[in-house]
């Protein structure tokens, strides 16, 4: 294997790797990762209306995955913009496009018999970037040291070569191998990042493809595993281990890292869902007691599908008139259960307790 950071890695080996991917360290990391992922999926499936949580959790992944690429927005700004996008910053709009790309990918998986394709990767990247994205053709693409600019890695070059490598990646992703799907995901993620098929957006696209693989393999009902938060916390290790696979074929350490990421993320997401469920139950108890008003059964679902709520959301979600929707929301403001924020001419009703859970670090949940 020949490789130099200064030259295109055209000899990037095709998948599957020739390395042993069933080692003792990998197996030891795989067992708790599968257990936590199964627990997360069971928590989601057991919910009477999973969609209530999916949007919020997808936004958290959008925020974290964008932050890996130094596109930074706050949780409050992101959720506010998801409800009222008129005053969103460029970084926030870019993070919102990530959520759109994630759900676009989910729709593709459901409509294409669970297949991940090269075309899907390009569609996801296009949604993220907000422009039609095709395979890179320009010469001179490389990943450099952020301080010195010195090349750290130069991906394969040439459109035909990229097409060949990507088609091999797609065949591996969709193949029924003896590898556990989580190990397969870890391998596929390295390969996609090493191919680096687009001019921009490769990292975010690759992380969306990760969770779509789990949905396609029916390990998750919805794309709610926001693994990017783990990567942010261990960012140097993430890039070090990617490079170690390239330089030394160190698949063992890379796969173990990704399995730990799945384990940690699945556990924290499950606990966050539990905290939101508990808050929603308390909220429902308070509704009638504190306000003396009887609400439609799905009113709380509207308030927990997004922490920023508009009168329009209640009208559409509960099939009530504007005066009735306004009355419901103002009663909760008077009871101290919601806060009013202005956005242009609109009023946004904020579920601050819900926002606090979403904003909290995993260790605080």
pLDDT band at residue 265 under the 50/70/90 scheme: very high
Neighbours of 344 (CB within 10 A): 9
**pLDDT value at 261 more than 90:** yes
**What is the per-residue pLDDT across 133-179, written as a single tens digit (0 to 9) for each?**
999 987 888 888 878 889 999 999 999 999 999 999 999 999 988 89
> Which of these is catalytic: 104, 189, 196, 260?
196
**Do residues 292 and 249 share a domain?**
no
The pLDDT value given to residue 95? 85
**Do residues 69 and 87 share a domain?**
yes
Is 136 annotated as contributing to ligand binding? Answer: no
Structure tokens at 164: 């060949």
Structure tokens at 95: 């993070």
**Do residues 141 and 239 share a domain?**
yes
pLDDT band at residue 361 under the 50/70/90 scheme: low
**What is the per-residue pLDDT across 18-69, written as a single tens digit (0 to 9) for each?**
999 999 999 999 999 999 999 999 998 887 777 767 888 888 888 888 887 7
The residue segments making up the domain with residue 359 are 274-364
The pLDDT value given to residue 181? 96
The pLDDT value given to residue 284? 86
The whole-angstrom separation of Cα 256 and Cα 31 is 11
**Do residues 218 and 247 share a domain?**
yes
**Do residues 174 and 55 share a domain?**
yes
Is 345 annotated as contributing to ligand binding? Answer: no
**Do residues 113 and 158 share a domain?**
yes
Crossing angle, helix 352-359 and helix 251-291, to 10 degrees? 170
Q: Of 247, 271, 295, which marks where a domain is finished? A: 271
Which residues partner with 144 through β-bridges? 151
**Do residues 93 and 147 share a domain?**
yes
Does residue 241 form part of some domain? yes
Who wins on pLDDT, 289 or 330? 330
Q: Of 246, 271, 296, which marks where a domain is finished? A: 271
Domains held by the chain: number = 2
Is 69 annotated as contributing to ligand binding? Answer: yes
Is 257 annotated as contributing to ligand binding? Answer: no
The pLDDT value given to residue 86? 62
**What is the per-residue pLDDT across 87-133, written as a single tens digit (0 to 9) for each?**
778 888 888 888 899 999 999 998 877 789 999 999 999 999 999 99
**Do residues 87 and 141 share a domain?**
yes
**Cα angle vertex 365, ends 299, 204, to 5°?**
85
Please, are residues 84 and 346 in contact by the beta-carbon 8 Å criterion? Answer: yes
The pLDDT value given to residue 342? 84
What sign has the CA pseudo-torsion 283, 289, 291, 294? Answer: positive
**What is the per-residue pLDDT across 281-304, written as a single tens digit (0 to 9) for each?**
888 888 877 777 778 888 988 898
| Helix, strand and coil in the chain, % to nearest 5 | 65, 5, 30
Who wins on pLDDT, 363 or 112? 112
**Do residues 263 and 349 share a domain?**
no
**pLDDT value at 259 more than 70:** yes
Is 294 annotated as contributing to ligand binding? Answer: no
**What is the per-residue pLDDT across 342-357, written as a single tens digit (0 to 9) for each?**
877 788 999 999 989 8
- Give the CATH number, domain containing residue 335: 1.10.10.10
The whole-angstrom separation of Cα 214 and Cα 19 is 23
**pLDDT value at 365 more than 60:** no
**Do residues 64 and 148 share a domain?**
yes
pLDDT band at residue 194 under the 50/70/90 scheme: very high
Q: Of 252, 271, 290, which marks where a domain is finished? A: 271
For the chain, helix (H) and strand (E) counts, in that order, are 15, 5
260: annotated active-site residue: no
């Amino acid at each position: 294997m020949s490789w130099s950071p200064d030259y295109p890695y055209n000899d990037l080996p095709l998948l599957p790797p020739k390395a042993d991917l069933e080692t003792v360290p990998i197996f030891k990391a795989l067992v708790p990762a599968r257990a936590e992922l199964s627990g997360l999926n069971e928590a989601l499936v057991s919910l009477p209306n999973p969609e209530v949580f999916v949007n919020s959790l997808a936004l958290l992944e959008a925020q974290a995955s964008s932050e890996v690429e130094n596109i930074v927005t706050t949780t409050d700004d992101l959720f506010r913009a998801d409800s009222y996008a008129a005053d969103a910053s460029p970084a926030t709009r870019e993070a919102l496009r990530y959520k759109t790309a994630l759900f676009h990918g989910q729709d593709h998986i459901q409509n294409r018999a669970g297949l991940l394709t090269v075309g899907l990767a390009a569609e996801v990247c296009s949604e993220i970037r907000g422009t039609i994205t095709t395979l890179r053709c320009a010469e001179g693409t490389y990943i450099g040291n952020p301080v010195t600019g010195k090349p750290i890695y130069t991906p394969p070059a040439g459109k035909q070569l990229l097409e060949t490598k990507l088609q091999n990646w797609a065949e591996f992703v969709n193949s029924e191998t003896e590898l556990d799907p989580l190990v397969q995901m870890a391998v596929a993620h390295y390969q996609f990042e090493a191919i680096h098929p687009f001019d921009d957006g490769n990292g975010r696209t690759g992380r969306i493809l990760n969770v779509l693989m789990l949905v396609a393999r029916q390990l998750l009902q919805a794309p709610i595993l926001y693994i990017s938060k783990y990567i942010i916390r261990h960012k140097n290790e993430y890039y070090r281990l990617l490079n170690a696979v390239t330089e030394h074929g160190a698949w063992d350490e890379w796969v173990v890292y990704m399995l730990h990421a799945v384990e940690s993320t699945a556990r924290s997401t499950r606990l966050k869902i539990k905290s939101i469920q508990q808050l929603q139950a308390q909220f429902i108890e308070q509704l009638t007691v504190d306000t003396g008003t009887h609400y439609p059964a799905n009113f709380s679902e509207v308030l927990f599908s997004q922490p920023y709520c508009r009168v329009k959301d209640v009208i559409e979600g509960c099939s009530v008139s504007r005066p009735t929707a306004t009355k419901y929301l103002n009663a909760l403001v008077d009871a101290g259960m919601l806060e009013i924020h202005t956005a242009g001419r609109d009023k946004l009703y904020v579920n601050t307790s819900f926002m606090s859970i979403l904003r909290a670090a995993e260790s605080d949940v």
